[in-house]
Amino acid sequence: MKGKIGLIVALSLIQLEAAAQEHAVAGRAGLLGLGLEYSYAINDRIAVRGMLYGSGLSFDAMESGIDYDFDLDWDSLGVAVDFHPFAGPFRLSAGLLSNDNSLRASSTPTENVVVGDTSYTPDEIGSLDADIGFDGTAPMLGIGWDWSKSNRFGFTLDLGVVKQGAPNVALSANGGLVEDPAFEADLEAEEAELREALDDLDLVPFITLGMSFRF
């Protein structure tokens, strides 16, 4: 009788341990920003994952011959399905992001700058400010490894691509020629050039590294 009770207790503990590892939380960092994730393992091969990413980055760059100060905001919320074809750490992932990633660009020239096809003085331009956004829903595909799958703790690594659409650019100025038709036409031409220069942001490759805990 004691042997049977011991066996039942052991089996129960094994079942509880298996159930306990259906859930996982992870902290992530990478080219999508800093993030938190929660995943639920439906079975050994399929899991559903919720993702929240957010962070900021500032940098300087020249676009269309103009020096801009860029502020990048990573801000996305998503869900993905992970498929582990070998029931191990390796996974294939597909998902959707609610995408609020955005860029702000600003430039205050201190010398003459060509806007469109015309050279303008700093007083005529004032400052140039651009708001750059993307599609609100962005599909993503990736491959990765979750080494916590057979342990409570483990590293995760994912590589993939997010399709966030062509950038939407709104460029404005606040100098002395704000209401001048010729300047407005050049400003629209500059806006189109900036949009073309940032067109590579349609497809954003990413790599993220994290630590996962199962419970």
pLDDT in tens, 7-22: 333 333 334 344 447 9
- How many structural domains are present in the chain? 1
- Return d(Cα 50, Cα 40) in angstroms, integer: 9
Q: What is the pLDDT of residue 133?
A: 95
Task: For 123, list phi and psi in degrees, rounded to 5.
Answer: -65, -35
SS (H, E, C) 158-185: EEEEEECCCCEEEEEECCCCCCCHHHHH
209 assigned to some structural domain: yes
54 assigned to some structural domain: yes
16 assigned to some structural domain: no
150 assigned to some structural domain: yes
Q: Are 204 and 135 in contact (CB under 8 A)?
A: no
Residue 131 clears pLDDT 50, i.e. is over it: yes
2 assigned to some structural domain: no
Q: What is the pLDDT of residue 65?
A: 85
Please tell me the pTM assigned to this model: 0.80
Q: Are 158 and 103 in contact (CB under 8 A)?
A: no
Per-residue pLDDT tens digits for 28-67? 999 889 999 999 999 999 999 999 999 999 999 998 889 9
Question: What domain range includes position 193?
Answer: 23-214
Q: What is the pLDDT of residue 63?
A: 87
Residue 113 clears pLDDT 80, i.e. is over it: yes
Q: Are 159 and 29 in contact (CB under 8 A)?
A: no
98 assigned to some structural domain: yes
CATH number of the domain where residue 84 is located = 2.40.160.170
56 assigned to some structural domain: yes
95 assigned to some structural domain: yes
Rounded to the nearest integer, the mean pLDDT of the chain is 89
